[in-house]
Amino acid sequence: MAQRFKITIEYDGGGYVGWQAQDNGPSVQETIEQAIHAFSGERVRLTTAGRTDAGVHALGQVAHFDLKKKITPHQVMAAVNAHLKEAKVAVIKAEAVDENFSARFSAARRHYLYRILNRKAPPVLDHGKVWHVPQKLDAEKMHAAAQALVGKHDFTTFRSIRCQAKSPVKTLDRLDVERLGEEILFRVSARSFLHHQVRSMVGTLKLVGLGKWTADNVTEALEARDRTAVGFNAPPHGLYLIRVEYREGQTPA
């Protein structure tokens, strides 16, 4: 009988085509599946909490898989990481879970962080890890405008045309914007998101920070339910999936 394992994963999304396995380059999913096969001899298919795009990073991505091989969670983590030494991916935690656990469907809330480096000089150590915006941004105005997006809304305006979600209606639990030194940080939480929703909201709030838009403009864009009502998406390399929250009782085996 197979054992289901839940793994928490950290990765640098640069150099990957995203989480999901694709034909046009290496993916995070494929990289981990190959590592699991290398030590177990079994072909597994990972189910994930969120399919991050190319360039998006993760500090706490979650996935699950079933394995027939008799092995402990600690051994799973060590064995997978031993085969990921050349990759920008690591399993930071492994747990044995009940067969009813789903990394995707058991998730109660997903938490994202978006980082803007707001200074004249470009990033060096954080190159590829932040969105560099040299023009001065007003974080307080951005935060105030962001509150119009919190709650249950039709987010069609902030949805990718390639989004496969059945409904554009989502409930945004949190969208906080704050300045921390030279960085402006966006902390975003919801049970689920539309494709490109976070990046689209950040791109729109940048206009507020520059003084080109007001809070009323953000509300009008939301109510328009029209993708052309916003200008652009923030680039993927400033976005991090930092944590996935699960309902109590959905993790231990």
Task: Count Cβ atoms below 10 Å from residue 153 Cβ, excluding itself.
Answer: 18
Torsion of CA 8, 12, 16, 22, to 10 degrees: 10
53 is catalytic: yes
Catalytic residue from among 12, 23, 53, 138: 53
Length of the chain: 253
Distance CA(218)–CA(224), nearest Å, equals: 10
Helix (H) or strand (E) holding 131: strand 131-132
| Closest of 238, 244, 234, 229 to residue 193, by C-alpha | 244
Q: How far apart are CA 174 and CA 146, in angstroms?
A: 9
- Report, as residue numbers or ranges, the catalytic residues: 53
